[in-house]
Structures are given as C-alpha cells and as structure tokens.
Amino acid sequence: MKGYAHALFGAGLSALLSPDPLWAALWGLVGSKVPDLDLKKMHRKLLHNVFAMLLLSLLVGSIDRRGGVYFMVGYASHIFLDSFTVRGVWALWPLYDRPLGIRAFRSDWRLANAAVAALGALLLIYSLYKAAAGQ
Ligand SMILES: [Zn+2]
C-alpha cells in the first residue's frame, strides 16, 4: 500500500478506538509509518513483522503508555494492509521466513489505496466529530 493510505488508515483506526482521538491519531500515524523504514533493506521483513511491532510498541509505551497502544494499532494496521498485496509480508520473521497474507492486489493499485485512505479519513473525521460533540 502507499504511504498516504497507511497514514490515514492508521490514524483513523487509532482515533476510533480512543476517547482522546487526536492524540491517538498522532500515535497511530507514527506507528503506521514506521514499518516502511525498511524500504531500502530487507523490505517487508525487518520491520513488517509482529516481533518488531511488539518491541517498538513496548519502547513507545515505556515513554507514553497509551501512546504505545495506539502506536501499535497503527503499526498493526500497516502489516495487515500490506498482507493484502501480492508481495505479502514476512509477519512472523525471523521464526518463519516466508511471506504471509491474502496477496490479492498490487501495492500501487490506485483504487485500493484510495478506498483505504478514504475509509481512514472517514474514521478520523467521525472520531474527531464525536469527541468534539462530547459523545
Ligand atoms: Zn509496508
């Protein structure tokens, strides 16, 4: 998936799950961007696995406990979304050295990226509106 789709979906999903959606969205956004830091080396392996996700989420959580949870939500959403792409993700690396996932479409498919980004934006807007209205 493209970076903008990961960012909006990670932020929107984190916001939806929190009573403080703006703060959660920021951590979700950061968490959704971190896995692609492995783009130049061991892409979809080094940072696209649950062990890296847990380790980095614990690290963030040691600084900001609730932030660590929403960081992990954003991170997990990234791994989940990439699992739908043809290349898959090495979600259990280094224990299991094969790509996993549904592997249904290319990561640059515009329709899928636009749909995921739109869903993330809707989740974010809904969550912020709900919080502003005090509901
Ligand atoms: Zn990725």
Confidence band for 135, pLDDT divided at 50, 70 and 90: confident
Cis before 94? omega within 30? yes
Q: Quick one: pLDDT at residue 73?
A: 98
Instruction: Please compute the mean of the pLDDT values over residues 12-17 and round it to a whole number.
Output: 98
Q: Quick one: pLDDT at residue 70?
A: 98
Q: What is the pTM of this model?
A: 0.96
Measured in angstroms, how far is the CA atom of residue 8 from the centroid of ligand 1? 14
Instruction: Please compute the mean of the pLDDT values over residues 80-107 and round it to a whole number.
Output: 96
Q: Quick one: pLDDT at residue 129?
A: 97
Protein residues within 5 Å, CB atom, of ion ligand 1? 35-36, 82
Domain layout of the chain by residue ranges? 3-132
Contact 34, 80 (CB under 8 A): no
Query: Per-residue pLDDT tens for 59-83?
Result: 999 999 999 999 999 999 999 999 9
Mean pLDDT, all residues of the chain: 97
Give yes or no for residue 1 having a pLDDT over 90. Answer: yes
Measured in angstroms, how far is the CA atom of residue 60 from the centroid of ligand 1? 19
Tell me the residue type at 72.
M
Q: Quick one: pLDDT at residue 64?
A: 96
Give yes or no for residue 131 having a pLDDT over 80. Answer: yes
Query: Per-residue pLDDT tens for 27-50?
Result: 999 999 999 999 999 999 999 999
Measured in angstroms, how far is the CA atom of residue 78 from the centroid of ligand 1? 6
Give yes or no for residue 111 having a pLDDT over 90. Answer: yes
Instruction: Name which of 60, 68, 74, 58 is nearest 25 in CA terms.
Output: 74
Measured in angstroms, how far is the CA atom of residue 52 from the centroid of ligand 1? 13
Measured in angstroms, how far is the CA atom of residue 114 from the centroid of ligand 1? 16
Measured in angstroms, how far is the CA atom of residue 1 from the centroid of ligand 1? 7
Measured in angstroms, how far is the CA atom of residue 130 from the centroid of ligand 1? 30
Rg (CA), the chain: 15
Q: Quick one: pLDDT at residue 106?
A: 95
Measured in angstroms, how far is the CA atom of residue 88 from the centroid of ligand 1? 9
